[in-house]
Amino acid sequence: MNKIDALPAFTDNYIWLLQDLEQRRCAVVDPGDAAPVEAWLAAHPDWQLSDILITHHHFDHVGGIETLKRLTGARVLGPADEAIPGRDVALHDGDQVTVLGHNFDIYAVPGHTLGHIAYVQHQQHWLFCGDTLFAGGCGRLFEGTAEQMHASLSRLAALPEQTQVFCTHEYTLSNLRFATAVEPENHAIRQRLEQVRQWREAGQISLPSSIGLERATNPFLRSEQASVHATIALREGQAERSPVEIFAAVRAWKDNF
């Protein structure tokens, strides 16, 4: 039996905590800060941290690795093409790893960073995607190109609609405000925005999302929709644009929204 909880870190990060309730073993995803994980382990002294899963090299995702590894001896898994402190297992696209008895497929999802990876558990329908796909949004293009990010998001969007999206930031409210600007007539976006607003006012987190919900409400997965094309045409003039060009225009707009 497994349970997944979010440990808040910094101002808007979540460290995902996977728990094997029978074996009392756990794993964490992207511990940018060791303190929340240390606090959880101190409150659960009979549990063992066995694995640390890393999606990309940014400090708010890797800053706690070395402290946690020193404290627990946990195995560190991370992208092969990025400098990950303390990494024991270097992961490439197409690799498979077993964590807490579950097999995860590794997807290369460049765009936010060049070596960014995602962890996909098909049987449980889990996706740990770091800063590639957000609830209602996507990561900034710090290292990769619009073409790379569009391809990465398209790959994730092809997962089954019930796939749970465990991203790493509480950006949902601001992302959905932007989504309403992109598709003002999209009822699903407005409905979701109101739901998330209520959750946040009540102190609840907005995650995980699902692939089905993202397909319906995330403008970065909807660059082939006529409504998104129409909005970009109004902003930037009528022209023939590919889905990648539409995505790039939406991403540039969001950067300054």
Q: What is the pLDDT of residue 39?
A: 98
Overall pTM surpassing 0.95 (yes/no): yes
Q: Hey, which residues are catalytic here? A: 56, 58, 60-61, 112, 131, 169
Q: What is the pLDDT of residue 49?
A: 98
Residue 85 pLDDT class (50, 70, 90 cuts) = very high
Q: What is the pLDDT of residue 2?
A: 86
Give Cα 107 to chain centroid, integer Å: 12
Residues 113, 58 contacting (CB under 8 angstroms): yes
What average pLDDT does the structure give for the chain? 97
Residue 1 pLDDT class (50, 70, 90 cuts) = low
Nearest CA-CA partner of 173 in 150, 142, 205 = 205
Interior/surface letters 76-91, b for 16+ CB within 10 angstroms, e for the rest: bbbbbbbebebbeeeb
Instruction: Give me 244's structure tokens.
Output: 């990648």
Domain parsing of the chain, residue ranges: 2-255
Residue the block writes with tokens 């094309």? 229
Strand, coil or helix: 15: strand
Q: What is the pLDDT of residue 194?
A: 98
**Fold designation for 2-255:** Metallo-beta-lactamase; Chain A (3.60.15)
Question: CA–CA separation, 54 vs 64, rounded Å?
Answer: 11
Residue 166 above 90 pLDDT?
yes
Query: What are the tens digits of pLDDT across the range 95-135?
Result: 999 999 999 999 999 999 999 999 999 999 999 999 999 99
Query: What are the tens digits of pLDDT across the range 204-229?
Result: 999 999 999 999 999 999 999 999 99
